[in-house]
Amino acid sequence: MTRRASTCTLASWLSVTSALRRFVVSPGRHRPPSTDETGERQASPRSIEEKLMTDRKQFMVDGQAVILEVLDTAGIDQYLALHDLFMRESDGFILVFSLMSKESFDDVVRTRDQILRLKQEDLVPMVIVGNKCDLTADRVLPPQLGEQLAARAGGVYLETSARNNVNVMRVFHEVVRQMRLHPTRDMKEREARRKKEKKCVIL
């Protein structure tokens, strides 16, 4: 029997530019450059739509199909209301920091705390990612920091190399496993509605 692919919404806080976006953004897709009244290109997007990238990806995790609705939230830090909205409505989270930057790690700590506060759940599906693990000579953060941060949120910690494509897909597989293991209230309510709809038969 073929099981229906479950649909989950994933918000990714990519605090460093990385090839993790290869999963988020479809081939050939890009943020269009802005133009002013004279037709000249501007250096940064003017609208939220240009800043926010969304995509849907279907793939298999542990033999089960899943559809991820991915929100790449990088670039909308100034829109605090949107940040809160995405945190409340998303089912899982990927928080990425650079292993070469204590500042980016501190940003992830603040984001994680805000997610836990807004979700008001004991466990939130989350993967903490330390990126640039290939640059060992420039590394300033030990793995224990990421492991402890993930453990306090009930999540998983992974280290990636976007340049060498190390653990990139594993990040998304792990966040799906977390969503299945610790579904949010919204996920449970959607599943209950889906089961109720399946039981309704019109003769």
What residue ranges do the domains of the chain occupy?
6-21+49-195
CA angle 147, 149, 153 (to 5 degrees): 110
Residues in the chain: 203
**Residue 141: predicted pLDDT:** 96
Residue 79's pLDDT band (cuts 50, 70, 90): low
Instruction: Report how far residue 85's alpha carbon sits from residue 88's, in angstroms, rounded to the nearest whole number.
Output: 5
Mean pLDDT of 6-14: 54
Binned at pLDDT 50, 70 and 90, residue 85 comes out as confident
**Which residue stretches of the chain are H helix?**
21-24, 48-51, 80-89, 102-119, 143-152, 168-181, 185-199
Look at 7-21, 36-50, 83-97, 98-112 and tell me which has the smallest mean pLDDT. Answer: 36-50
Give pLDDT, residue 4: 46
Tell me the C-alpha distance between 40 and 84, whole Å.
Answer: 33
Sequence-separated (6 or more) residues with CB below 8 Å from residue 24:
12, 14, 53, 55, 70, 72
The per-residue pLDDT of the chain, averaged, comes to: 73
Q: Are strands 53-61 and 92-98 parallel, antiparallel or unpaired?
A: unpaired
| Overall CATH class of domain 6-21+49-195 | alpha beta
**Residue 71 in this model has a pLDDT that exceeds 80:** no
Share of the chain above pLDDT 70, in %: 61
Least confident of 32-36, 91-95, 196-200: 32-36
Q: Are 141 and 129 in contact (CB under 8 A)?
A: no
Residue 133 has pLDDT above 60, yes or no: yes
pLDDT value of residue 146: 94
Confidence category of residue 177, pLDDT binned at 50, 70, 90:
very high
